[in-house]
C-alpha cells in the first residue's frame, strides 16, 4: 500500500508524521471518509465541501485547493488499485511545539489512505442489527459543534466500547436533552406510518453525506420526510429503522434496547431506499 503524505506517496511502513504534529498531540485536525464504487469516488465534491467547512470552522487554511484535494483522493485510489473501497482523507494542524496554541504550526499536513473496507458482516444487511442506547452523550454544539468532522472522536469511541461491552455492534447516542443525536458512527432514520423521520442537525447529528443521499432519494420518490426531535420512544414504536454512513452505507435496525422494531425484519421502505442507493453510487461522483 502507498500512502499520500504532503505531496508524495510512500510505502505504508514509511508513512509517518512528527510526534510534534498537533493532530497527534491534541487531535487538532479534520478528516473525511469517502467511498469508491466501480471506479467512482462517491459524492467526492460534497465530501470536500464538508472538509472545507470543517477547516474554516477551526481556523485552518487548507494547503490545497478543492481541485488539488480531489486529485489527491483519486490518485490515491489509482496508485493502490482501488476501484471499490474507502479513502480516509486527513488534514492535521501540522508540526508545532508542545503548547496548545496552533501558532507554532507552520503548515497543515495532508494524508490520504486508500484501502478496502467492510464495516458490518453481510448478514446484518439482510437480517438487520440489534442496537442499544449508551450512557455517553453526543458532543453538543455549545462545546464542539458536531458539524465539524474533527480528529476528536473520543466520546464516539467510548460509546462504541460501551456498545461492545453489551454485545452490540452499534449504539444510539443521546444529547444532553435526551433527544437522539446519532449513532457512534452513523445517522439514524425511522419510518412510522409511511413517513420518514431523522434527527434534526441541531440535536447533534453530523451532516452525513449518506444521510443527505437518502434524503435526496426519498424526496425523488415522493416519500414524506421530517427532520425533527426524536426520542427512543419513537424508535421503539417505529415500523422500520435504519442507519446510514459512508462506511455502513444503509443498514437496517430490527431492535433497540431489546425492544423489537416493527416485525423485527428489514422493512419495505428500507429495502427500497437501499436499492436506490446502490443504483446511484457508481454514477454520482468523480470517475477514476
Contact assessment for residue 219 and residue 173, using Cβ atoms and an 8 Å cutoff: no
C-alpha cell at 21: 504534529
Instruction: Identify whether 149 is a catalytic site residue.
Output: yes
Kindly report the number of other CB atoms within 10 A of residue 171's CB atom: 25
DSSP string covering 130-165, please?
A: EEEE-SSPPPPTTTS-TTS-BS--HHHHHHHHHHHH
Say how far apart CA 27 and CA 75 lie, in whole Å. Answer: 26
Alpha carbon dihedral 50, 112, 183, 209, in 10-degree steps, equals 40
Q: How far apart are CA 105 and CA 101, in angstroms?
A: 8
Out of 12, 38, 149, 226, which one is annotated catalytic? 149
Active site residues per annotation: 149
Amino acid at each position: 500500500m502507498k500512502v499520500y503524505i504532503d505531496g508524495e506517496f510512500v510505502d505504508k511502513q514509511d508513512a509517518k508524521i512528527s510526534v510534534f504534529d498537533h493532530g497527534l498531540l491534541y487531535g487538532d485536525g479534520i478528516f473525511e471518509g469517502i467511498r469508491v464504487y466501480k471506479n467512482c469516488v462517491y459524492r467526492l465534491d460534497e465530501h470536500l465541501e464538508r472538509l472545507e467547512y470543517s477547516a474554516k470552522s477551526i481556523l485552518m487554511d487548507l494547503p490545497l485547493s478543492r481541485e488539488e484535494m480531489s486529485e489527491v483522493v483519486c490518485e490515491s485510489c489509482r496508485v493502490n488499485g482501488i476501484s471499490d473501497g474507502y479513502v480516509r482523507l486527513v488534514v492535521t494542524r501540522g508540526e508545532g511545539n508542545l503548547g496548545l496554541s496552533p501558532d507554532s504550526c507552520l503548515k497543515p499536513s495532508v494524508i490520504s489512505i486508500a484501502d478496502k473496507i467492510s464495516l458490518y458482516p453481510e448478514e446484518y444487511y439482510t437480517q438487520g442489527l440489534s442496537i442499544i442506547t449508551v450512557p455517553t452523550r453526543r458532543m453538543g454544539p455549545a462545546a464542539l459543534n458536531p458539524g465539524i468532522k474533527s480528529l476528536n472522536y473520543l466520546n464516539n469511541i467510548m460509546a462504541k466500547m460501551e456498545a461492545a461491552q453489551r454485545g452490540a455492534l452499534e449504539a444510539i447516542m443521546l444529547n444532553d436533552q435526551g433527544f437522539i443525536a446519532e449513532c457512534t458512527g452513523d445517522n439514524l432514520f425511522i419510518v412510522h406510518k409511511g413517513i420518514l423521520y431523522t434527527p434534526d442537525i441541531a440535536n447533534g447529528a453530523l451532516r452525513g453525506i449518506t444521510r443527505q443521499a437518502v434524503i435526496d432519494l426519498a424526496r425523488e420518490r415522493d416519500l414524506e420526510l421530517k427532520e425533527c426531535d426524536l426520542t427512543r420512544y419513537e424508535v421503539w414504536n417505529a415500523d422500520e429503522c435504519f442507519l446510514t454512513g459512508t462506511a455502513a452505507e444503509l443498514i437496517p435496525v430490527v431492535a433497540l434496547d431489546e425492544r423489537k422494531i416493527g416485525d423485527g425484519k428489514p422493512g419495505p421502505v428500507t429495502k427500497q431506499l437501499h436499492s436506490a442507493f446502490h443504483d446511484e453510487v457508481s454514477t454520482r461522483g468523480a470517475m477514476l
